[in-house]
Chains A and B, each alone.
Chain A
């Protein structure tokens, strides 16, 4: 996979807070990358640096070979950004909001394009409703439409599903996956592990630093599992690695003897693995 984004030793310091520190990353194109971490971990600052909304204190980054601040004008066509706040004009209709961004990107028939995109996002009946009259979920979709209207190669979405109901979350994730299938690069910040599991790659941040950067399944595999079984009427348990090879080896070791009447495998989920990684780092701090 070609690399879409290079981040090299990037730091950003606000007056008294070191928001991100010495971050180096490579993000592949055509994939969904999740930025995960507790509140204040630096996810939003990293995203703002990627879209050119904050000036890094140190380090460098390039998005499709462009500097997000110095080459913002060239980058804008390739980049769609949905901020954490809705960033919509509440008095304007859903269609007028999307059409505004369509006009900024000099698209033909901005009102028509806006209506078509909103219909794709299941908002056909509400295209002319003022945004302030729409539900939270609908407003999120309008905000997503504003980011999508110019058909960008890279979509950066800052907590796009926060405070949405499970059904709507699923719909949006289906849309994200569809976009990735079309070859678009998606960066999605989230603190929900079920969402992180749906990403191709997860970047875990803590105190402004990257503490893990891998596929979610590999991260889960780095955790532990407990195999519980009842053999000859006696409860037994063995701690093994969650890695599929290690699990298979453990099962082979015990064999499925006829006297094994009960078998359970309790593997750590992504959340537990990540909490462990975060706690380990926290404990190592002087």
Chain B
């Protein structure tokens, strides 16, 4: 019950804050357009979807992380987080309420971005693949929101989120299969890459867009993302505390 009350409030906040809405919906669409401009400069021999779809997943991951981290840090700064806990809310109520509230935005975000990518890059996927890709983006944004909630614990001000961006957002671009094939990286870098959830999102997306839908690889990577959801919810509940 309390989860729905928190989710409702998160949605009300998102609805009232136009900058936040623009940030969540318009900016991913603009970024995908710039991705198109960038890929137009590349050799036509290059298989666009191999890169475009993982990049799209990365954009969703990045924005959901930043948005949820900032919202939670704001809650801490404004004292509303303390107030919710004093009013009897459990930590899991707040975490899951946030995730639930963000889900509707994530659905719209994933659907619009995917539609734009398919239209701009003239990709011809069947409905099964489109749904699977939508699912990847959706699950990835949930993981990202949970990661944002977890990271927000370590920041007392919005500015303190910035040091985490290279770690959570930039590092995975090199280690998670977005640019380079992780198999070609040194062994230690391959191991580090396994700790970033975006890796599994990218691999799940790649399994979908391969000439033959690799169902086993898709579900395996979605399973890893589900484990991240579970793990981050548990860790988030344990570390999520009010500012003392």
Contacts and interface: CB of A to CB of B under 8 A. Distances in A.
A88 interface: yes
Residue among B2, B82, B83 with the highest chain A CB neighbour number at 10 A:
B83
Nearest to B83: A87
Contacts of B78: 85-90
A116 interface: no
Residue among A79, A84, A89 with the highest chain B CB neighbour number at 10 A:
A89
Give the contact-size bracket for chain B.
Answer: 20 to 34
What does DSSP make chain B's interface, helix, strand, loop or mixed? helix
B244 A54 contact: yes
Contacts of B86: 51-53, 72, 76, 79, 81
B166 to A, nearest CB: 27
B128 interface: no
A92 B244 contact: no
B88 A104 contact: yes
Nearest to A12: B244
A91 B2 contact: no
Interface in B48-69: none
A64 interface: no
B16 A53 contact: no
Interface in A123-159: 130, 146
Contacts of A77: 88
B83 A81 contact: yes
Interface in B31-88: 78-80, 82-88
Contact of A104 (B17, B87, B244): B87
A105 interface: yes
A96 interface: yes
A103 interface: yes
Contact of A100 (B1, B5, B82, B85): B5
A39 to B, nearest CB: 18
B107 interface: no
A73 B88 contact: yes
Given A54-B244, A92-B12, A76 B88 contact: yes
B12 A96 contact: yes
Interface in B1-15: 1-2, 5, 8-9, 12-13
A38 interface: no
B13 A104 contact: no
A85 B2 contact: no
A146 B83 contact: yes
B80 A88 contact: yes
Interface string A66-85: 00000011011101010111
B75 to A, nearest CB: 9
B89 interface: yes
A53 B13 contact: no
A177 interface: no
A48 interface: yes
A42 B156 CA distance: 21
A6 interface: no
Contacts of A100: 5, 9
Given A86-B78, A87-B80, A100-B5, A76 B13 contact: no
A54 B85 CA distance: 11
Contacts of A101: 87
B2 to A, nearest CB: 7
A261 to B, nearest CB: 59
Contacts of B13: 89, 91-92
Contacts of A75: 88
Interface string B73-110: 00000111011111111000000000000000000000
Contacts of A85: 78-79
Interface string A34-61: 0000000000000010011110000000
Residue among B12, B82, B87, B89 with the highest chain A CB neighbour number at 10 A:
B87
Contacts of B16: 91-92, 130
Contacts of A76: 86-88
Contacts of B5: 100, 103-104
B88 A87 contact: no
Given A83-B79, A87-B79, A91-B13, A53 B85 contact: yes
A162 B89 CA distance: 28
Contact of A83 (B1, B9, B83): B83
Task: Name the 6 nearest CB pairs between A and B, nearest first.
Answer: A76-B88, A87-B79, A91-B16, A85-B79, A87-B83, A103-B5
Interface of A: 14, 48, 51-54, 72-73, 75-77, 79, 81, 83-92, 96, 100-101, 103-106, 130, 146
28 contacts: A48-B244, A51-B86, A53-B86, A53-B242, A53-B244, A54-B244, A73-B88, A75-B88, A76-B87, A79-B86, A81-B86, A81-B87, A83-B82, A85-B78, A86-B78, A87-B79, A87-B83, A89-B13, A90-B78, A92-B9, A92-B12, A92-B16, A96-B12, A100-B5, A103-B8, A104-B87, A104-B88, A146-B83
